[in-house]
Structure 1
Amino acid sequence: MEHINKNRLFLASCLALITTAMTFAIRARLETVFGPEGVGLTLEQLGYAFAPAFFGFTIAMIIGGPLVDLLGIKKITWMAFVTHAVGIVLTLMADSMTSLFVATLCIGIGNGMVEAALNPMVASLYSTEKTKMLNRFHVWFPGGIVIGAVLGWLIMDVMGLSWQVMVATLFVPLIIYGVLFFGQNMPITERVQLGISNKKMFLSVFKPLFLFMVFCMLLTAASELGTTQRIESLLKESVAAPLLVLAFINGIMALGRLFAGKVVHRLKPSGMLLYSAILTFIGLWLLTLASGGMVFAAAAVFAVGVTFFWPTMLGFVAEYLPETGALGLSIMGGAGMFSVSIVLPIMGNLMDTGSAGEALRTMSILPAILIAAFVGLNIYMKKYKTVTTQHV
């Protein structure tokens, strides 16, 4: 059996996710560069220009999921590296809505390929503690956003350098993760290890429980990323440096995911999701009312709410629906990003024609629906556990 360096692969995976996450923070800062006070795009046009970051991600994950099993994790990882590199170069050259759209599409595809390859790889490397290690891997999504947000603030707001310098910082984690992955053996996916056929995998994604989780993923991702991606526009009237609020939110998220193992043990995935939805709803409502320093207090509640959404949704599917394989994880991630691509222009329109407080109130509808959904999931999982125990 080929030697697999778990620690090096996990570190490389984290750096690939940092690259992905930094693009989100940097894109949020580019709102003011390309927006009404800069290049002159309306907030709705910016929504359309940035939307391919999310539907490009979706396309890559839906295509990449089945290809991970067919071509192997290594090839999909290198596809991510190449499309990331091309996307960064094209972003540096962007000067209009169209060129920004194309650049963002490439980066979105790169980001999707990272998740398509590396979520199943982490699940395969740590098959006995999937939810814990997926949370630990996803520490570096908020962690990378903190890095990108602080760098963007330092480079543009403190040092007064150009936005191109900020975008060029993405080459640092890109090159490092490329070097770390180079020449490494990678595991086969868990679905292949278990010998589950393609037919069974494709049929399993039509199970009612899986479809329910896909529906919930649409709402959890939009609640989290729809809000944080438009943080500059949402909070520019409420606080002096919205990008620091973004860093603050993601700092809390990173810490929460780092210690997710204890929370998973106590609450189980379905319990974590219910508490997350409740706090997200409260946090969004508080953000509609807060100004000045109180924005950070409201943002803290929101941050605790959204901390466990993404990795726990993936962990739930990996744990309770393993037969869906890499395809299941890819559909989940793809659905999440697709929903954000729909929400961004809608939020832009609400802000163009109304106000940021109105946009936040509209967004709070999503976690309200999730509270009801996850109450139902908790009831179902108690019955599921009872039936499973009886059959053991």
Structure 2
Amino acid sequence: MKEQINKNRLFLASCMALIVTAMTFAIRARLETVFGPEGVGLTLEQIGYAFTPAFWGFTLAMLFGGPLVDTLGIKKITWLAFIMHAIGIVWTIMASDMTSLFIATLFVGIGNGLVEAALNPMIASMYTKDKTKMLNRFHVWFPGGIVIGAIVGWLVMDVMGLSWQIMVGVLFIPLIAYAILFLGQKFPVTERVQMGVSSKKMYSSLANPLFIFMVICMMLTAASELGTTQRIESLLKTSVSNPLLILAFINGIMALGRAFAGPVIHKLQPTGMLVFSAIFTFIGLWLLTITSGAMTFAAAGVFAVGVTFFWPTMLGFVAEYLPQTGALGLSIMGGAGMLSVSIVLPVMGKLMDDANATEALRTMSILPAILTVAFIGLYLYMKKRKPVTEQA
């Protein structure tokens, strides 16, 4: 009897793996104060450099992992992600200076990248008729995991007064959970393999001007979202007493938005959602430069509404309109996004060291302003075009 693919279990396991990925972002944000000027003694710029491997390591893992997903299979890449995560978590617990923090962050970044490289195309291949909707549901657990990580950090360190090593060690819980859920399961092949698209066709599709445009936009959307949230502790420490709660608030809104993305996707379509997201992200970042206290939550809420649909909708757009780019196309998108974050983190740190957080936020608001114009153009260009799955 042919072994069946358990879509529900694979999807649940994927969500758990993404929770690990997301929790590392929140916990790393909390570590900024541990290793910063008032802790270990690193400058904010040095911390920015120590954190960059989380993003370019992610990028390398996705760029190399993308084509390997088609050849080695989703299963092997997923288990490699588990190994990288385990090493990275242990190394983080042992970190004591910039170098060890850098190496630990690199392993975590590679694990995170491999999770995205393997599981985005797996979900696209399992749910061919609802790619954007299911990718949004999957990516509920990126903000969801950040909420969990932010609350864990707050409870362990601020409420219970325990060590930061215990906070990092909590990551082993979802790590072991996703390993158990994936254990013994049959994995699907990628959609490119299902469609019979050759490697030559896949690589040539990467030169499509529309795909190149989306890659550039992905760099700006990811930097707008993750560049801001990754440095939330330093950006908002003069505005609110506990910036980590702002991070939890932002990601709580994002999780709810992605969980109920279906009707919004149906009404606006991916391009309409992207225009909406860019406008609200710009307004949110601008408001964060002029608010303090309780009003910071209102500004953060507007920002959260903006960035909610960025990442999964960008991936969903490529999966629907450019499926011939395969797993590599999705990996390049995610990798480009993370690469841009690795560039902006030290820049933001430098701005905060030399000027102030307001200047850093004001500079970041330029990105969604550019995206608003770009996505309006995309909306007009794509207005009469249908997804490839509907054209067949």
Q: Say whether 1:292 aligns with 2:272.
A: no
Counterpart CA distance in 1 for 2:278 and 2:350 is 25
CA distance in structure 1 between the partners assigned to 2:240 and 2:383 by the alignment: 44
| 2:21 is the counterpart of 1:26 | no
Residue 49 of structure 1 is matched in structure 2 by 50
1:194-249 Cα offsets, whole Å, 9 max, x none, are 00000000000110000000000000000000000000000000000100000000
Q: Deviations over 1:83-107 (max 9, x none)?
A: 0000000000000100000000000
Q: How does 1:62-77 map to 2 (within 5 A)?
A: 62-77=63-78
**Secondary structure in 2 aligned to 1:289?**
coil
Give the Cα separation in 2 of the matches to 1:206 and 1:46: 36
Q: CA deviation at 1:382?
A: 1.6
1:347-389 deviation digits (Å, cap 9, x = unpaired) = 0000000000000000000000000100100110025459x99
CA contact (8 A) 2:29 2:231 kept: yes
In 1, Cα distance between equivalents of 2:91 and 2:385: 49
Amino acid at match of 1:294: M
The letter of the residue matching 2:301 is A
**Partner secondary structure for residue 78 of structure 2:** helix
- The yes-or-no answer on 1:329 pairing with 2:330 is yes
CA distance in 1, matches of 2:188, 2:385: 31
1:121-200 paired onto structure 2 within 5 Å: 121-200=122-201
Q: Which amino acid counterpart does residue 94 of structure 2 have in structure 1?
A: M
Alignment deviations for residues 160-198 of structure 1 (CA, whole Å, 9 cap, x no partner):
000000000000000000010011000000000000000
Q: Give the aligned partner of residue 364 of structure 1.
A: 365
1:2: how far off? 2.8
In structure 1, the partner of 2:7 is 6
Q: 1:355 corresponds to which residue?
A: 356
Distance 1:206 1:172 in 2: 42
Per-residue CA deviations over 1:20-46 (Å, capped at 9, x if unaligned) read 000000000000000000000000000
In the superposition, the TM-score normalised over structure 2's length comes to: 0.98
CA distance in 2, matches of 1:375, 1:118: 30
Rounded to whole Å, the distance in 2 between the matches of 1:208 and 1:264 is 24
Query: In 1, are the aligned partners of 2:280 and 2:302 still within 8 Å (CA)?
Result: yes
In the alignment, residue 92 of structure 2 is paired with which amino acid?
T
How many residues are paired up?
391
Specify the code of the residue in structure 1 equivalent to 2:18. Answer: L
Separation in structure 2 between the aligned mates of residue 36 and residue 361 of structure 1, nearest angstrom: 24
Gaps of 5+ in 2: none
2:273 aligned with 1:272: yes
C-alpha separation between the residues in 2 aligned to 1:234 and 1:264? 32
TM-score, normalised relative to structure 1: 0.98
Report which stretch shifted further, 376-385 or 180-189. 376-385
Paired position in structure 1 for 2:231 = 230
Aligned counterparts of 2:162 and 2:91: Cα–Cα separation in 1: 19
Assess if the C-alpha contact under 8 Å between 2:62 and 2:116 holds in 1. yes
In 1, Cα distance between equivalents of 2:5 and 2:69: 17
| AA in 2 matched with 1:324 | T
The 2-side partners of 1:270 and 1:122 are apart by: 21
1:240 counterpart SS class: coil
CA distance in 2, matches of 1:359, 1:337: 19
Tell me what 2:347 maps to.
Answer: 346
* Corresponding position of 2:312: 311
Question: CA deviation digits over 1:275-327, x for unaligned, max 9?
Answer: 00000000000000010000000000000000000000000000000000100
- In 1, Cα distance between equivalents of 2:108 and 2:244: 21
Which amino acid is 1:194 matched to?
M
Within 5 A, what are the aligned runs for 1:75-154?
75-154=76-155
CA distance in 2, matches of 1:75, 1:85: 16
2:253 corresponds in structure 1 to: 252
Residues in 2 aligned to 1:205 and 1:79: alpha-carbon distance in whole angstroms: 26
Q: Deviations over 1:31-67 (max 9, x none)?
A: 0000000000000000000000000000000000000
In structure 2, what is the Cα distance between the partners aligned to 1:203 and 1:385?
21
Please give the alpha-carbon distance, in whole angstroms, between the structure 1 residues aligned to 2:18 and 2:129. Answer: 22
Quick one: distance in 2 between partners of 1:176 and 1:385? 39
Q: Distance in 2 between matches of 1:2 and 1:350?
A: 56
* Contact map agreement 2:321 2:386 (CA 8 A) in 1: no
The 4+ residue runs of structure 1 with deviation greater than 4 A are none
Secondary structure of 2:289's aligned partner: helix
Q: What amino acid does structure 1 have at the position aligned with 2:62?
A: M
Question: How far apart are the structure 2 equivalents of 1:96 and 1:165?
Answer: 18
Could you tell me how far apart the structure 1 residues matched to 2:173 and 2:115 are?
16
Structure 1: gaps (5+ residues): none
The offset of 1:251, in angstroms, is: 0.1
- Partner amino acid, structure 2, of 1:122: I
Read off the aligned partner of 1:188 and give its amino acid letter.
Answer: V
Aligned to 2:211, the other structure's residue is in SS state: helix
1:271 maps to a residue whose letter is G
Tell me how large the CA RMSD over aligned residues is.
1.4
Q: Quick one: percent identity of the two aligned structures? A: 77
- Looking at structure 2, the residues matched to 355 and 95 of structure 1 have their Cα atoms a distance apart, in angstroms, of 27
